[in-house]
Structure 1
Amino acid sequence: MDIKENLLNIKSQLPEHVTLIAVSKTKPINDLMEAYNAGQRVFGENKIQEMADKWEKMPKDIQWHMIGHVQRNKVKYMAEFVDLIHGVDSVKLLKEINKQARKHNRAINCLLQIKIAEEDNKFGLTHTDAKSILVSKELSELENIKIVGLMGMATFTDDMAQVKNEFKFLKSKFDEFKIIKSDNCDLKAISMGMSGDYHLAIDCGSNMVRIGSSIFGARNYD
């Protein structure tokens, strides 16, 4: 598996406005450094401790994205360095991120995760709850976070018509919500699409794709 070749091949297919997140969870630092040396600077992890370990050992010009479900008691381990947290699905989590960001005198960028899939095991806010958060007084008081977009995960299915509908739904909510602007809310990113469906996601309006196995090969779960 040639990580550099895979990466450059994918990048050559992406429109300029689309950010590629190399999903490096479970992968060793050697693999990440191959991608880094090929020019990749944005990496996504789904376990905070693993991400923190890699952050400590790798070059400091990397943007680290937390793409997995976030437990509030783990936020403190990434608050110093995380660039973007994708899976924000509650006001309680936003408050904890704000609290930990304040300790490091920085603002942390966040995406609200909208539940677009039919599967029960997918996390996320309803679109009505997300809108309530965006216009709430509670959000306006959190000075150390910035809501910069939305994230969604489509149903794990071969039915691409269903996936397309879910992506289009998220894009419609993004378009609806992006007129809501404040000091800590300015929606610019829409994170949807993974190795198997990122072309479709981009066609539906995504400007941030999370690609792992197509770059690094199958995940290691030893």
Structure 2
Amino acid sequence: MTDIASKVLYAADIVLVIDTTASMGPFIEDTKKLAMGFHERISREMRAKGKTVDQLRVRLIVFRDYYDKEENAIVATPFWKMPEEEGKLVEFVSMLQAGGGGDEPENGLEALALAIRSSWEQGQGFQKCRHSIVVFTDASAHPLEHPGKPPSYPKDMPKDLNELTDMWFAEMRNTAKRLTIFAPDVPPWNIFEGAWDCTQHHKSHAGSGLDEQTLSDLVEGITNSIT
């Protein structure tokens, strides 16, 4: 068998779900730095493991709070292919501004539901796929059954955490899915690691950014999920 015939082709989809409320300011600034070299960091880590990513796509979902201010409470991008569309990622991230959301909790669960329903690569032409969701927040989340939803609240949301859990198990491919959560040690974030498969929770704190070690751990976690 030739090297070409035996080569395993990797496709990796990564959805970054980011809280952009005011207290996330330091993190947002660090995210801008990460975006500038995201593809190179992932590729370098993969090369160190003796692997390559044959297709890397990145999508962003940023969220605040529909119950505080409806406008742009959740903004989602399409998937962008790296490195061909890296400029679109950098442009979008460069425009992010932390603000609002002074009345914790926020709409993180709705953003997570949108991430689960992403248009994932289904493996046509690839032997191995990874569908990774990475959530960054320093706040708790509104329950999905919160009353008094505003007119702009997204349609077809799960009605509660049980339905969101059903989505994770039914709509995500077991061999591909990964969820990494950077969030406080509070409900609902601190229940996912024990209740959902393929999930890790790293504790975060309000007002903190991404130091170099955290950035390295994040990139390594993404590449580990690919390999």
TM-score calculated relative to the size of structure 1:
0.33
More RCO (CA 8 Å, sep 6+): 2
